Amino acid sequence: MAIKRAKSSFVAYIDGAPRLVNAGDLIDDSDPVVTGREALFGSIEDHVAGKARPVEQATAEPGEKRSVGRPPTKRPPAKRTEGAPDGPGQ
């Protein structure tokens, strides 16, 4: 028997009763909710080894430079229409 980890949340009907499985739930592979739904589960070993999802590094390594904020965006110049006033109140 092995432990499986739910990849996403879902509801399954077991013996006519709804059963909610949340993403990340750990369930024994002999459980009826796993039978026929193996694609919805991953092995706990893969998750622990980091194969499930890469983790973004939040801090810079020594000597590494990180940008702060968003890059500036270029906006096109405003279009003027013929016969429009030059300023407010004109």
- The answer to the question of residue 17 being in a domain is yes
pLDDT digits (tens, 9 = 90+) for 14-36: 999 999 999 999 999 899 999 99
Structure token digits, residue 28: 């024994």
Nearest CA to 25 out of 6, 41, 8, 10 is that of 6
- The answer to the question of residue 19 being in a domain is yes
- The answer to the question of residue 25 being in a domain is yes
Residue 64: what pLDDT? 82
Percentage of the chain modeled with pLDDT above 90: 41
Residue 41: what pLDDT? 93
Other Cβ atoms within 10 Å of 53 Cβ, number: 7
- The answer to the question of residue 78 being in a domain is no
Sequence-distant (6+) residues with CB within 8 A of 32 are: 14, 15
Residue 89: what pLDDT? 58
Q: How many domains does the chain fold into?
A: 1
Full residue range of the structural domain in which residue 43 is found: 3-48
- The answer to the question of residue 27 being in a domain is yes
- The answer to the question of residue 7 being in a domain is yes
Residue 58: what pLDDT? 76
pTM: 0.52
For the chain, which residues score pLDDT lower than 70? Answer: 50-55, 83-90
